[in-house]
Structure 1
Amino acid sequence: MSLQKPVMRGLLGKRLRFHLPIAFSLSFIAAIMFKYGVTEPRKQAYADFYKQYDAVKDFNAMKEAGVFESARPSGE
């Protein structure tokens, strides 16, 4: 009893026809999940933050705390 020789001719093409559509569909699904699971909530969080953000008030608070060396507090 001898073993049958493996078919090597056209093996790459046969494997690619099977695996390539699976790889493309999985990568497409992963990209969509990343877009709606990570980037969209992050963009919404930034939008919510900057709706009520006051840069002048934040600057004045940091200036009073002594964060900046070039800006003096208004009391001096």
Structure 2
Amino acid sequence: MPEELSKLPKPQMRRLLYGQIRKNLILTGISVTIAGLYMRLVFGDGNKREYAEFYKNYDINKEFHRIRRKGLFDSCDPNDDAE
């Protein structure tokens, strides 16, 4: 019987919480990094391309006159055609 007891490993009684917290922090850091890269690749770069394409063809004066004709500006007369 003493031989069987000596073969069993001793249980770790100290620093159990420290080891668990360390493991959780490492896994959290890895998952946050992966999620951040995924969001940047899927949404960030795609949105940059879409905004660049939009503003390549965007005419601010044309947009201003379109909104003015709808009467959405308080300081501009919607019927004034002075462009």
Q: Give the TM-score normalised by structure 2.
A: 0.71
Residues 1-26 of structure 1: per-residue CA shift (max 9 Å, x gap): xxxxx744110222134322221111
Counterpart position of 1:74: 80
Q: Secondary structure at the match of 2:46?
A: helix
Aligned length: 71
Residues 75 and 25 from structure 1, CA distance in 2 versus in 1: closer, same or farther, beyond 3 angstroms? closer
Please list, as runs of the form range in 1=range in 2, the aligned pairs for 1:1-76 lying within 5 A after superposition: 7-72=12-77, 73-75=79-81
Residues 43-71 of structure 1: per-residue CA shift (max 9 Å, x gap): 21111111100000010111112111211
RMSD value over aligned CA atoms?
2.1
User: Structure 1 regions of 5+ residues with no counterpart?
Assistant: 1-5
User: Structure 2 regions of 5+ residues with no counterpart?
Assistant: 1-10
Separation (CA, whole Å) in 1 of partners of 2:53 and 2:24: 43
Q: Kindly state the Cα deviation for residue 74 of structure 1 after the two structures are TM-superposed.
A: 2.4
Q: Which runs of 4+ in 1 moved over 3 A?
A: none
* Higher gyration radius (CA): 2
